[in-house]
Structure 1
Amino acid sequence: MSLKYAAIRAGFEALWLTGMPRLFRMLSRSRGVIFTLHRVLPEPPADFSPNAILQVQPDFLDYCLGRIRDLGIDIVSLDEAMARLAAPEKGRPFVVLTFDDAYRDNLHHALPILRRHEAPFTLYVPTAFVDGTGQLWWQAIEDVIAGQEAIAFAGDGGAEHMDTSTTARKREAFERLYWRMRKQPEPERLALLADFAAAHGYDLERQCRELIMDWRELRLFADEPLCTIGAHTVHHYELAKLAADAAREEMLRSAEIIEVQLGMRPRHFSYPLGGPLSCGPREFALAAELGFDTAVTTRPGGLYPHHLRIPTALPRVSLNGNFQRRRYVDVFASGGLFTQIGRVMGS
C-alpha cells in the first residue's frame, strides 16, 4: 500500500478510536451520504492491483448494509434522498448506494446481496461499454503491466521504457502512465492506449466484453424493482476535456441509447471519474439543461438541503477497496465527517 493510503488508514483508525464518526452523525447537519461503488469481487486483490480501490468483496458489502441499518441509517433511492433533503425536518439519516460502469460482477456478486437486504441502488451505465466497444483503459494498463517485466510507451521525447520487474516498479510505471493519460486530451489518450495495448498484445474489446454486462444482462437490472438505471456518458470520457458540444452529445446520447435499449429514459447521471479535473460548473449546467434530476461527482461529502440548489453537483463517498475493515463502515457513513475531509482536500 502506498504512503498516501497508509496515511489515510491511520486517519481512519484514529477517527474510529476517538468516536468521531458517531459525534459527526449526531451533531452535523448532513442528512445523508451517497456511496460510490464499482466492482464486487470475491477474490482478494493481487499484490499489484492499483485499481483495487474500485473493488470490494461480497462479505464486506453484506456487512456494510447490515451495519448501516444497525446504526439507524436508512438505505434509500436517489429520488427518496432528494425528497428527504427537501423536508423541513432532518429526520432519519440515510445512505444511497450507487454503482458505476455496469461491471458484470455486479450481477453475480452484488445483486444477490442487495436483494437479500432489500436495498435500493442506482446503476450508472456507459453505453459503449455495454455495446462491447468501450475502453476500460485504467484496468488495461494495470493488466499489461502486471504481466510484463518491462514496458514501453510513447513519451514526449520518443519511446519511454520502464522496468516493471518488481511490484514497486510496476506501481511506479502505472502511476507514470496513468497520469500521462489523465493529462492528455481524449484523442491523444485513445491513440496512446491503442498503441500501448497493441504493442503488448492486449485485446481491448475482449476485455470490455468480459468485464461489462451486455444489454441482455442489463435488462435484468432494468426489471429489478430495487434498481434505478442512470446514465454515465457513451464512452466514459472525462467531460471537462471535451468541447461543450461534444460533452453535451456524450451526455445526451447516453440517455437516448438507454431509452431505446431499456424502454426508460434515465433521470440521473454520473460524471466519469467525477473529480475537479473531470467535471465542473459547465458540466453541472449541461446536466441540468438536459433534464437530469440529479448528477453525482466523486467529490467527498455528505448531503445537505443546500444541494437542492444544484442537484447536478452532488458529492459521494467512495467505499474504497483499500479500506475493507468492518470498523471503517462507521467512518464511511459519516457525511459530515467527509464534508470536512472534502474541504481539507480542496483547500
Structure 2
Amino acid sequence: MKQGLTNSMIEMARWSGLMPAFRKIFAGRAAIIMFHEIQQDSRSELMTGTSVGLFEYSLNWLRQEGWEIVSLEACIERLGTNSGTGRYAVLTFDDGYRDNVATALPILERYNAPFTVYVPTGAPKRTLQAWWLGLREMFRSGDTVTIDAMDMRFHCPRLHEKMSGLSEVTDWIHQDYHRIAMLAPTFNKAGLSLSALNEAYFLDESELRSLARHPLASIGGHTDTHAALSCLDIQSARAEMADNRRYLEQLLQRPVQHFAYPYGDSRACGPREAHLAKDVGFSTAVTTRHGQLSNLESNHFALPRLGVGGQFDTSARFEARISGIQSAAHMLLGSQR
C-alpha cells in the first residue's frame, strides 16, 4: 500500500512538471551514488545489477540537470568550502566487477566522470565467499532450488519466479548476516564453485592494477572477506579493514583513502565501525543508508548513498531518488528506508 502511494507521488511529480520545484526543496547539495554490476543483459543476471541503459541514462540526466560529477575528495572539499548553489554527484561501484571496466568504463570516459571502486581482498585473490553470486547461479540454472537452511524449495521455471525466489532468500540473509555461513552446505550439495564465480565476475589483480592507473579511477577498501563488520569482535573487524587496506596499497603502489562497509546498513555497521575506519587510516567511509549530503557537517565515516539498480528500478525512480522526492514521500507516508 505505502509503496503504491510512493510510486504514485513519484509519477505525479514527474509528469506534472513539478520535479524541478521538488528538487529545489528536497535535494541535498551532493549525492553519492552506488552501483554494483553494470549488466549488458540484465535479464540473464536476474535483474540484480544496473542495466547499461539505466546507467547511461543516469549519467546523462545528471549532466543535463546541472549536477557536476566529481571525485569523492572534490565533493568533500567543495561542501566544506563552497557556499554556492552547485550540486555534486559522486559515482561509486562496490566489489570490483569486471563489467565495471568492460561495460561502464567506456561510458564513464565519454562523460569524463571520476569514480571510485571499492574492492574486497577476496575478489581479486579469488577467495571471496560471494554467496550472492552463488544464489543467483542456482536460481539462473535450475527450475527447482532448495535452500536447506530455510527449509524451503522454490519451483521457478519462469524468470519472474527466479527473481522472486532469489529476492526472498537474499532478504532472509539480510535479516541476519550470521546466516551467510548456513548457505555453504547448499552450495556444496549443488557442486557450486564460488572461486569459479569469482573468476567469471571479478577483476583479477592485473586488471585491478591497470584500472588504478586510469586518471578517472580511485580504488577504495571493502574489507578482506566482505564480512558484516558488526558481527565480528573489535579485533577481527579492525583486521578486516587494515589488512584490506594494506593489501590494496601494496598491490597498487598508491594510497587507499576511501572505504565502503560491506552491506552498509544498520545491521552491518555503526558507530564502532566508523571509529575503526578512521583509526585504521581511511579518510572517508560510505554506507548503504539512503540519503544525500547537505553540508560539511556530515560524518565522513558514515556517508549515505543512493543505490541504482535492481529488479524494480526505473529512470523515473532514479530521478525521484536524486531529486529527494522519494525520501520526502517516505517521510510523508511514515515509512523508513
Q: Which of 176, 189, 198 in structure 2 is aligned with 1:208?
A: 198
Matched, 1:288 2:278: yes
Counterpart contact for 1:37–1:54, Cα < 8 Å? yes
Q: Distance in 2 between matches of 1:113 and 1:265?
A: 26
1:185 positional shift: 5.3
Q: Distance in 1 between matches of 2:42 and 2:168?
A: 25
Q: Which of 104, 115, 138 in structure 1 is aligned with 2:98?
A: 104
Alignment of 1:95-244 (within 5 A): 95-155=89-149, 160-167=151-158, 170-171=162-163, 173-184=165-176, 186=178, 189-190=180-181, 192-244=182-234
Amino acid corresponding to residue 129 of structure 1 in structure 2: A
1:294 positional shift: 1.0
Show the counterpart of 2:30: 32
Q: Distance in 1 between matches of 2:26 and 2:161?
A: 43
Q: Can you list the C-alpha shifts for 1:131-183, whole angstroms capped at 9, x where unaligned?
A: 11112211211211332233334337xxx241424446545543453344334
Q: Which of 299, 309, 326 in structure 2 is aligned with 1:320?
A: 309
Matched, 1:330 2:319: yes
| Deviates further, 204-213 or 28-37 | 28-37
Q: Distance in 2 between matches of 1:321 and 1:29?
A: 22
Counterpart contact for 2:222–2:241, Cα < 8 Å? yes
Q: What is the TM-score of this pair, normalised by structure 1?
A: 0.87
1:53 positional shift: 4.3
Q: Distance in 2 between matches of 1:5 and 1:211?
A: 33
Matched, 1:55 2:47: no
Q: Distance in 1 between matches of 2:39 and 2:219?
A: 21
Partner secondary structure for residue 152 of structure 1: strand
Gaps of 5+ in 1: none
Q: Which of 23, 39, 58 in structure 2 is aligned with 1:41?
A: 39
| Deviates further, 167-176 or 264-273 | 167-176
Amino acid corresponding to residue 58 of structure 2 in structure 1: C
> RMSD of aligned C-alpha atoms?
2.6
Matched, 1:22 2:20: yes
1:80 positional shift: 0.7
Show the counterpart of 2:291: 301
Q: Distance in 2 between matches of 1:278 and 1:332?
A: 23
C-alpha change, 1:346 and 1:43, in structure 2 (3 Å) is same
Q: What percent identity do the matched residue pairs reach?
A: 30
Counterpart contact for 1:233–1:253, Cα < 8 Å? yes
Partner secondary structure for residue 283 of structure 1: helix
Number of residue-to-residue matches in the alignment: 334
Q: Which of 243, 259, 263 in structure 2 is aligned with 1:273?
A: 263
Counterpart contact for 2:156–2:162, Cα < 8 Å? yes
Counterpart contact for 2:224–2:241, Cα < 8 Å? yes
1:27 positional shift: 3.0
1:275 positional shift: 1.2
C-alpha change, 1:74 and 1:126, in structure 2 (3 Å) is same
Q: Distance in 1 between matches of 2:172 and 2:27?
A: 40
C-alpha change, 1:9 and 1:218, in structure 2 (3 Å) is farther
Q: Distance in 2 between matches of 1:345 and 1:322?
A: 21
Q: Distance in 2 between matches of 1:262 and 1:184?
A: 34
Gaps of 5+ in 2: none
1:8 positional shift: 5.7
Amino acid corresponding to residue 32 of structure 1 in structure 2: A
C-alpha change, 1:19 and 1:312, in structure 2 (3 Å) is farther
Q: Distance in 1 between matches of 2:162 and 2:2?
A: 17
Q: Can you list the C-alpha shifts for 1:109-147, whole angstroms capped at 9, x where unaligned?
A: 001111111001111111111111112211211211332
Q: Distance in 2 between matches of 1:31 and 1:42?
A: 32
Q: What is the TM-score of this pair, normalised by structure 2?
A: 0.89
Counterpart contact for 1:319–1:332, Cα < 8 Å? no
